[in-house]
Structure 1
């Protein structure tokens, strides 16, 4: 079986088999995840609907690392769709400063995202929530049915939603686990009448991207930029953060990557641009937002200081040269929430090929072994 234009044998030799497979399998994972959610619809609604009907309910999306960025992507959309108080707070903040984030007298739904469900902060955040909040509800969205989060979400006021088994990535970097949990969060907290149609178009667009953009993205990775900036507005800012982390992880920090919003980038961070800098901009389909996105793209191109500017978008614009854009098929009329899926696949591809360009091992990128698939060395202290 081939993945990302490599044979399985070659990928094993490069220590990149699982990363390549798990990037490639995502369209299939998304359809399987949707089917699973539909099968559990009655149980999910019985748990969520009474909570969402509470006028003062507070919803916290949480997770560590990549899992935290799911909440960063979803919170802006969910807050608009549900009209509720919704916040994305990483477990790494909740655990170190629980008294500053949890509010005892505010009914709270803690939504925890986790690939393994065994990260110490994920378990501790759940425990602290139960201890500090008078009326605390727990929802775990996880890829591992044997993990601690899944086991602990079996009682009263708790529910675990398990992703399809093959989303529990075996590689170091979270790829299909991230996007499948992201899909679940959008399905549950960002209701839309056209969800199935939007996802179908995202599946088609991502499948074509995985077929057609391997060459261009591997060529771009071979240029070995030493700085990469991901920029996105609204839901895409969280995605930019995940994209930057993916590149840092897969290249073992040999390429420095960061993120910002297009408007925020002007306020100081723009100083990092030089001829060795690649800037990747996620262009929104929202008519207002895209004007701000394109203003910055035009400004950076006029400055002529960046090594390269790449825009990801759902339609082509004549002012942007073809070599500076990746255009998704049939997505021009879709909501930004569905652009998240092909956009992240693009970032994962670039991270994978960047690792290969530096002779790094995608499945086990940390040469020192000091960065692990499930974090180690965290001491959880009693309240």
Structure 2
């Protein structure tokens, strides 16, 4: 019997987790499809962007809610360092409540929206807010759903450009998996100064190696029940840690508590959360200086002997791959996330939940519901 992440397909189907398991395992194939589609799509995106990113007055806001917000946070600083334009990540959930802190009507602004469905109320409202607040605002929608509200906005509007992910990336499961990693890689390619589609293909090959090598140890790690998981990462990997923590919270319906921090920041209070039923996962940076700080904290945690287990994910790590040159942390984040996605999936199964929909009662939904959008003058 061929195993899918250490279980048979029928077994995943029986426990209500087949869609999520398939969507985690399909990511190398989805990334290859993305690299191919980007070759055709990026000239159109480049024409839309023109020379705007070379303008120091240009503001670029990367936005989304939940996982989609973390997608922007992973890549924002890398892109900001690459261009004269000012690039920052602002979640839609902050933009809608405190627009005056982030928007300048006099500044040329590009809103880059990350959205799996493109139908969440905050995503649509953020675009409407920019239209009403910033004359001439422009919009790049990075989305997985060709039928979503965001994707349809591009029809006939010269100020809107939509970059669609491969159809398979529009996850059927509750948690964002292949949708998240595809959007991160697509935005990096679309907004990087140099052609980068070949990096996506390289990462797809590395992901295949990782999925094969990590499936058994991650399943074994997840076979032990824990109450808390701490994910740590520096630079762009801090946002990766947040996404990893969200995955375990979502797929275990909050039964496993999770937190995220940086290796240096963790000592400043959050370390108090570690106890004998805590797993600590440190995402190793590709940056040599950052790795020295990573190593110091890891050694400290292991000396303390308080956590149930401390391990590393990344190059030359407990769960990882041999060191490869030319890829920075923002590019590598989707690769290392494959470990955390698998771990969350197995923990969900261990708890007897249905991973494709852990919230059977509907208290949390795949597409957010129950949000009332208010106008500033109301």
The one of 345, 360, 368 aligned to 1:367: 360
Q: Cα RMSD between the aligned structures?
A: 1.5
8 Å contact kept, 1:3–1:24: yes
What do the CA deviations read for 1:180-206 (whole angstroms, capped 9, x no partner)?
00011111223446x345333322221
> Per the alignment, in what secondary structure is the counterpart of residue 295 of structure 1?
helix
Count of residue pairs brought into register by the alignment: 374
> Which residues in structure 2 correspond to 1:1-383 (within 5 Å)?
2-154=3-155, 155-192=157-194, 195-315=196-316, 325-329=318-322, 331=324, 334-383=327-376
8 Å contact kept, 2:54–2:85: no
**Deviation for aligned residue 1:60:** 0.3
What do the CA deviations read for 1:121-174 (whole angstroms, capped 9, x no partner)?
000000001101123111100001111111113302111111111111111000
* 4+ residue segments displaced more than 4 Å: none
Structure 1 distance, partners of 2:38, 2:202, is 19
- Give the TM-score normalised by structure 2: 0.95
The 3 A distance-change label for structure 1 pair 139 and 196 is closer
> Per the alignment, in what secondary structure is the counterpart of residue 39 of structure 1?
helix
8 Å contact kept, 1:231–1:259: yes
Structure 1 distance, partners of 2:292, 2:200, is 25
The 3 A distance-change label for structure 1 pair 330 and 271 is closer
**Deviation for aligned residue 1:306:** 1.2
> Per the alignment, in what secondary structure is the counterpart of residue 257 of structure 1?
strand
Structure 2 distance, partners of 1:107, 1:331, is 38
> Per the alignment, in what secondary structure is the counterpart of residue 375 of structure 1?
coil
> Per the alignment, in what secondary structure is the counterpart of residue 213 of structure 1?
helix
Q: Which runs of 5+ in 2 are unaligned?
A: none
The 3 A distance-change label for structure 1 pair 333 and 315 is farther
Structure 2 distance, partners of 1:279, 1:311, is 9
**Deviation for aligned residue 1:98:** 1.9
8 Å contact kept, 1:106–1:135: no
Q: Which runs of 5+ in 1 are unaligned?
A: 317-324
**Deviation for aligned residue 1:289:** 1.3
What do the CA deviations read for 1:251-293 (whole angstroms, capped 9, x no partner)?
0000000101111111110111111111100111111111111
8 Å contact kept, 1:205–1:329: no
Which has the higher mean CA deviation after the structures are superposed, 149-158 or 340-349? 149-158
What do the CA deviations read for 1:276-318 (whole angstroms, capped 9, x no partner)?
11110011111111111111111111212111101012125xx
- Give the TM-score normalised by structure 1: 0.94
Structure 2 distance, partners of 1:330, 1:298, is 21
Structure 2 distance, partners of 1:184, 1:200, is 12
8 Å contact kept, 1:142–1:162: yes
